[in-house]
Amino acid sequence: MEHLWAGWRSAYVQGGDAHGGDDERPVPDIADGQTLFEAILHSGYPDRDTLILWRGERVFAMLNAFPYTSGHLMVLPMRAVEQLTELDEAEHAELWHGVRLATQAVEAAYAPHGINVGANLGRGAGAGIPDHLHVHVLPRWDGDTNFMTAIANTRVMPESLAATWERLHAAWPST
């Protein structure tokens, strides 16, 4: 699936700066035995640069860098595990608390018609990064698929990741 970024489009439609939102982000070094998400979490870069929206005690939330729709985020444990059954009770409870907070933020920021929540457990289930469990939360709207997706296997993203981060970060419920 290709992504056609038209991040200027949202600002233009809303009457703002048509050139806002630079999506260039630093790339963290991944140490041996470390997952991509652990490298991002412990990179030392500002959360805005790493797309991290929220940090709990055992769980964090971040934007998906290759979103299905604007507002697509992930909630994941800080400790890399592949399966839900590998979480301890505190991680499990905080993971689902984080999913609830993410859902509230998406509803407040985007007012979607619906929300998809799901996890692909293992490569066979479609996990792109199977070594670190993550739960996807993404807004959906009636008729949000179009000919670009169906015919050209391409998604048009009307909002930059920087603008999405700002929007969801501002809407994140206080805990």
List the catalytic residue out of 72, 132, 134, 169: 134
Over residues 101-133, the pLDDT tens digits come to 999 999 999 999 999 999 999 999 888 899 999
Top pLDDT among 78 and 65 is at: 78
Q: What percentage of residues in the chain have a pLDDT greater than 70? A: 78
Of the listed ranges 71-80, 130-139, 156-165, the least confidently predicted one is 156-165
Of the listed ranges 81-85, 114-118, 157-161, the least confidently predicted one is 157-161
Do the beta carbons of residue 111 and residue 136 sit within 8 Å?
no
Of the listed ranges 9-13, 117-121, 129-133, 148-152, the least confidently predicted one is 9-13
Of 23, 31, 32, 28, the residue nearest 41 (C-alpha) = 28
Q: pLDDT band for 151, please (50, 70, 90 cuts).
A: low
For β-strands 135-140 and 114-118, DSSP reports them as antiparallel
113 is a catalytic site residue:
no
DSSP 109-144: HH--SEEEEE---SGGGT-SSTTS--EEEEEE-TT-
Separation CA 75–CA 158 (nearest Å): 23
Phi, psi of 19 (to 5 degrees): -115, 15
Q: pLDDT band for 155, please (50, 70, 90 cuts).
A: low
Whole-model pTM over 0.85: no
Of the listed ranges 14-18, 70-74, 113-117, 130-134, the least confidently predicted one is 14-18
**Close Cβ partners of 77 (under 8 Å, ≥ 6 residues apart):** 58, 59, 87, 91, 94, 95, 133
Domains of the chain (ranges, CATH numbers): 2-18+31-171 (3.30.428.10)
Q: What is the pLDDT of residue 145?
A: 64
Q: What is the pLDDT of residue 20?
A: 40
Q: pLDDT band for 23, please (50, 70, 90 cuts).
A: low
